[in-house]
């Protein structure tokens, strides 16, 4: 395959001028004024469950005629959205705004402002202030103690060590606006510094590098020199312990979990080195990560310099390391190369999931191709489940979808992860036909778009310019058509065939057969059974449990699939286990399908499920609560 490769220096020198773009999920004036630096000065108040203090936003006025214009701006007359003249408009959700100041040459001047609760915006009148240079706006505020969707406050009883309270954030997709007034869009990237004071003996961690610490006041200082979007701002406060896994990798967690983390993630440096070999030098200096309490709603969150991980990865056998590989990969695809709005989310997650499988294969020197293919097969199974859940005609099963008047959380699923990964597999294997050529393309793509934002049109144009002689691609079917991909991949491996044979054999699966499978294969087998809805009944599940004693598994990836099968066939034996699982685990990948399965397969149990949820939701993350309420209240 002939390529049209530019040198790395040529690509870097192209740069990207300030880009005007469209984002249906932000009212902020990012096309009139652009935040370039953010400084936090905050206090952590566990008595009131709030953060209070101020944020300073250094804002650059934009001259639209000097900016690049994204293809996502589609208005007929090219009217530029999100530009309100002399008004700085920020996204602001349930924040208590106390005063707004303009800072100039150490002189502070009050600015008039208006909060629109319904539209979740803060409008600041700039009047006749100059638009010739960067201006600094200081906003004194506090977060809401009941409606801050970015923060979860835990009592000491909700932590592993049960000694001190705990707080952590989750800003993706559009929750940063409840943490601080901002331009809450992935298309705006800003550096940040922070000063955060909390009660002793607690520790503050953020998505930046710690630069100083005042022991007398227990004040922590941070800096992030690389510009990042608001969804990557992260903070956690708790009684934490740490262990250095390598000179540049440190794991943080509660002290009772540190030995588990030390064992489970012992090979983290090998993972990061393998990622660098594929993608280029790691750009963030440190790769530290925090293993959170179990109410954390995701498997992981790629906050730069301080990834957040769920404790459900602590399987005791290192079988769930793919999640940390996924979050590491985001250090390139997502954190460096970023989708300009959430309608193009697949550019973050599809690339990351595709590369994750590559890295897992590269880590296994003896059987790498088999490992990569089996991981891709697992992703394909999860994609089938997600498409079946939405319905094959649902617009959210497109890779690129519309989010007008829609919270990105409501459209979130594994479709953008695994349909995106399948698309890139197709481009590599079927269109280009060379893994090494495609690896070169990936490195070039990261250099080209690193520290920038892009949309799907940008990706298509760069792919076509890099591979000018490549066969034509049906972009419409892959990107904008709902349902499963237009091409079904064959990910056949011995590992997969073993599972498929067990799923389709006429006789019951035996204990001996199940013991031949590794943990990933058991999870895959259960996924296959979940997707064989017509052939799986209660007798089958009861016999499987009798033969194989499914209660012996503690791996959450296995447990949640087994519990979903039990709900589907109304197998009462595991009800107490299921409710205990839902009581402890907050990871949405696990709990959303279980609540949805109760709704669709066991409706007569819904009153008990609803009562259980109402009793326990006060201990759950607000993001998770909203998504479960949607599923329990749906009419489907």
Residue of 327, 356, 428, 496 marked active site: 327
Per-residue pLDDT at 13? 44
Per-residue pLDDT at 133? 86
| pLDDT tens-digit map of 536-593 | 899 999 999 999 999 999 999 999 999 999 999 999 999 999 999 999 999 999 999 9
Q: What is the token pair recorded at 533? A: 């809805």
Residue of 231, 401, 412, 417 marked active site: 417
For the domain made up of 22-145+167-228, the CATH class stated in words is mainly beta
**Quick one: DSSP state of residue 179?**
T
| pLDDT tens-digit map of 416-449 | 999 999 999 999 999 999 999 999 999 999 999 9
**Locate tokens 């489940």: which residue?**
385
Report whether pLDDT(3) > 90: no
Report whether pLDDT(15) > 60: no
Please report, rounded to a whole number, the percentage of residues in the chain having pLDDT higher than 70.
Answer: 97
Bridge-based pairing state of the strands 50-61 and 68-69: unpaired
User: 512-633: what fold?
Assistant: 1.25.40
Give the CA distances from residue 162 to residues 22, 157, 296, 308, in Å, rounded to whole numbers and listed in that order.
Answer: 46, 5, 17, 20
Q: Are 353 and 420 in contact (CB under 8 A)?
A: yes
Annotated binding site for Zn(2+): 326, 330, 349
| pLDDT tens-digit map of 129-164 | 767 789 999 999 999 999 999 999 999 999 999 999
What count of Cα atoms within 13 Å lies in the side-chain half-sphere of residue 171?
28
Q: What is the token pair recorded at 546? A: 């009798």
Distance of CA 607 to the CA centre of its chain: 32
Per-residue pLDDT at 266? 97
Annotated binding site: 170-172, 297-302, 326, 330, 349, 587-589
Start-end ranges of CATH 1.25.40.320 in the chain? 512-633
The backbone torsions φ and ψ at residue 263, rounded to the nearest 5 degrees and listed phi first, read: -70, -50
Per-residue pLDDT at 4? 66
| pLDDT tens-digit map of 321-340 | 999 999 999 999 999 999 99
- Residues with Cβ within 8 Å of 112's Cβ and at least 6 positions away in sequence, in order, are 100, 124, 125
340-480: CATH superfamily? Neutral Protease Domain 2 (1.10.390.10)
Q: Are 105 and 130 in contact (CB under 8 A)?
A: no
Q: Are 270 and 327 in contact (CB under 8 A)?
A: no
Please report, rounded to a whole number, the percentage of residues in the chain having pLDDT higher than 90.
Answer: 93
Helical packing angle, 588-601 and 575-584, nearest 10°: 140
Start-end ranges of CATH 1.10.390.10 in the chain? 340-480
Per-residue pLDDT at 2? 58
Q: Is the peptide bond before 264 cis (omega within 30 degrees of 0)?
A: no
Please say if 327 is a catalytic residue: yes
- Residues with Cβ within 8 Å of 504's Cβ and at least 6 positions away in sequence, in order, are none
Please say if 462 is a catalytic residue: no
The mean of the pLDDT values for the chain is: 95
Annotated binding site for a peptide: 170-172, 297-302, 587-589
Give the CA distances from residue 154 to residues 56, 92, 238, in Å, rounded to whole numbers and listed in that order.
Answer: 28, 24, 10
| pLDDT tens-digit map of 75-118 | 655 689 999 999 999 999 999 999 999 998 888 999 999 999 99
| pLDDT tens-digit map of 483-532 | 999 999 999 899 999 999 999 998 999 999 999 999 999 999 999 999 88
Start-end ranges of CATH 2.60.40.1730 in the chain? 22-145+167-228
- Residues with Cβ within 8 Å of 117's Cβ and at least 6 positions away in sequence, in order, are 94
Report whether pLDDT(348) > 60: yes
């Amino acid at each position: 395959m002939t390529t049209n490769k530019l040198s790395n220096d040529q690509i870097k020198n192209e740069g990207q001028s300030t880009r005007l773009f469209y984002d249906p999920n932000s009212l902020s004036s990012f096309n009139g004024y652009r935040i370039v630096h953010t400084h936090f000065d905050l206090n952590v108040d566990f008595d009131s469950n709030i953060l209070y203090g101020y944020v300073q936003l250094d804002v650059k006025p934009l001259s639209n005629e000097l900016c690049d214009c994204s293809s996502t701006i589609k208005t007929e007359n090219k009217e530029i959205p999100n530009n309100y003249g002399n008004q700085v408009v920020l996204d602001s959700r349930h924040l208590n705004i106390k005063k707004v100041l303009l800072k100039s040459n150490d002189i502070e001047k009050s600015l008039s402002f208006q909060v629109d609760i319904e539209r979740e915006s803060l409008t600041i009148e700039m009047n006749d202030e100059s638009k010739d240079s960067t201006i600094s706006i200081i906003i004194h505020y506090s977060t809401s103690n009941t409606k801050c969707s970015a923060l979860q406050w835990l009592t000491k009883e909700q932590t592993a060590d049960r000694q001190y309270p705990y707080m952590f954030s989750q800003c993706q997709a559009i929750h940063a606006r409840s943490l601080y007034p901002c331009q809450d869009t992935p298309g705006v990237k800003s550096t940040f510094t922070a000063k955060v004071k909390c009660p002793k003996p607690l520790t503050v961690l953020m998505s930046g590098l710690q630069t100083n610490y005042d022991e007398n006041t227990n004040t922590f200082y941070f800096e992030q020199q690389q510009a990042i979007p608001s969804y990557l701002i992260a903070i956690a406060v708790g009684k934490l312990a740490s262990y250095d896994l390598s000179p540049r990798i440190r794991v943080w967690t509660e002290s009772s979990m540190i030995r588990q983390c030390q064992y489970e993630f012992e090979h983290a440096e090998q993972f990061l080195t393998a990622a660098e070999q594929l993608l280029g030098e790691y750009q963030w200096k440190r790769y530290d990560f925090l293993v959170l309490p179990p109410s954390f709603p995701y498997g992981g969150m790629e906050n730069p310099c301080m990834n957040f991980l769920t404790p459900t990865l602590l399987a005791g056998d290192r079988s769930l390391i793919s999640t940390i590989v996924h979050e590491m990969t985001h250090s390139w695809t997502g954190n460096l190369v970023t989708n300009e709005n959430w309608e193009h989310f697949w550019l973050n997650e599809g690339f990351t999931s595709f590369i994750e499988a590559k890295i897992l294969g590269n880590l296994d020197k003896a059987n790498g191709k088999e490992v990569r293919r089996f991981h891709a097969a697992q992703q394909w199974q999860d994609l089938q489940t997600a498409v079946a859940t939405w319905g094959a005609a649902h617009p959210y099963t497109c890779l690129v979808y519309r989010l007008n008047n829609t919270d990105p959380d409501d459209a979130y699923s594994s479709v953008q992860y695994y349909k995106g990964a399948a698309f890139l597999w197709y481009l590599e294997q079927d269109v280009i036909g060379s893994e090494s050529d495609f690896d070169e393309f990936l490195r070039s793509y990261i250099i080209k778009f690193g520290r920038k934002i892009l949309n799907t049109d940008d990706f298509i144009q760069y792919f076509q310019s890099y591979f000018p002689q490549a066969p034509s691609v049906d972009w419409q079917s892959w990107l904008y058509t709902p349902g499963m991909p237009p091409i079904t991949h064959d990910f056949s491996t011995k590992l997969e065939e073993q599972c498929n044979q067990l799923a389709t054999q006429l006789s019951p699966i035996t204990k001996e057969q199940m013991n031949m499978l590794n943990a990933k294969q058991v999870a895959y087998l259960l996924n296959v059974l979940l997707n064989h809805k017509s052939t799986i009944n209660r007798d089958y599940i009861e016999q499987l449990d009798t033969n194989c004693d499914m209660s012996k598994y503690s791996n959450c990836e296995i447990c949640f699939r087994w519990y979903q099968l039990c709900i589907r066939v109304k197998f009462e034996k595991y009800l107490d286990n299921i409710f205990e699982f839902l009581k402890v685990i907050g990871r949405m990948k696990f709990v959303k399908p279980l609540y949805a399965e109760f709704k669709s397969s066991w409706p007569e149990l819904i009153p008990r499920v609803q009562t259980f949820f109402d009793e326990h939701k006060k201990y759950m993350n607000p993001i998770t609560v909203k998504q479960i309420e949607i599923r329990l209240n749906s009419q489907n």
